Every structure is written in C-alpha cells, then in structure tokens.
C-alpha cells in the first residue's frame, strides 16, 4: 500500500468507489464526487478523482489537523 499515490490502504477503496459509480452510471465525465470524511479516504478519493478528471468536494470536521486540510486543498 505504501506505493499507492496517497500512501494509504484507503486509496484502493476510493478507486473502487469511483469505478463502481462509473459502472452504475452514477457519475459522468466531468462530474463531481462529494464525500464526508475525517481522514485518508478523502485523500485517496481526491487522487482518484483528479486522475480521472472528476471534481471532488470533501467535507471534513473542524477537528482535523491543518496538515490534512492543506493536503486536500
């Protein structure tokens, strides 16, 4: 997992979520993925969305570290 773009096991989960949404027709090219997260799933999702050309909006609790917030921006 350390070789994943985000360095997390959650990268694989994020890729599965996006691929599943594509296969079900829930997201189209140029679409937007919205996720509520407190951690690495959002980072993985941001990487996957960027690589596939989707917009990604992440909602995080105010209690998250500034480092994580900055990484997702």
- Stretch (H or E) spanning 63: none
Domain 10-72 maps to which CATH number in 3.40.50.1100, 3.30.420.40, 3.30.1330.60, 1.20.910.10? 3.40.50.1100
Q: Please tell me the pTM assigned to this model.
A: 0.79
10 included as an active-site residue? yes
Contact 53, 30 (CB under 8 A): yes
More confident call, 66 vs 35: 35
Q: What is the dihedral of CA 29, 34, 40, 46, to 10 degrees?
A: 30
pLDDT tens-digit map of 5-29? 666 778 889 999 999 999 999 999 9
Contact 18, 45 (CB under 8 A): yes
Q: Where are the domains of the chain?
A: 10-72
Q: In angstroms, rounded to a whole number, what is the distance separating the alpha carbons of residues 23 and 28? A: 10
The one catalytic residue among 10, 19, 52, 68? 10
Rg (CA), the chain: 12
């Amino acid at each position: 997992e350390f070789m994943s773009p985000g360095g997390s096991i959650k990268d694989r989960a994020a890729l599965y979520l996006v691929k599943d949404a594509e296969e079900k027709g829930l997201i189209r090219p140029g679409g937007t993925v919205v996720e509520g997260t407190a951690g690495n799933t959002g980072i993985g999702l941001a990487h996957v969305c960027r690589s596939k050309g989707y917009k990604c909006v992440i909602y995080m609790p105010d209690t998250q570290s500034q480092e994580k917030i900055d990484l997702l921006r």
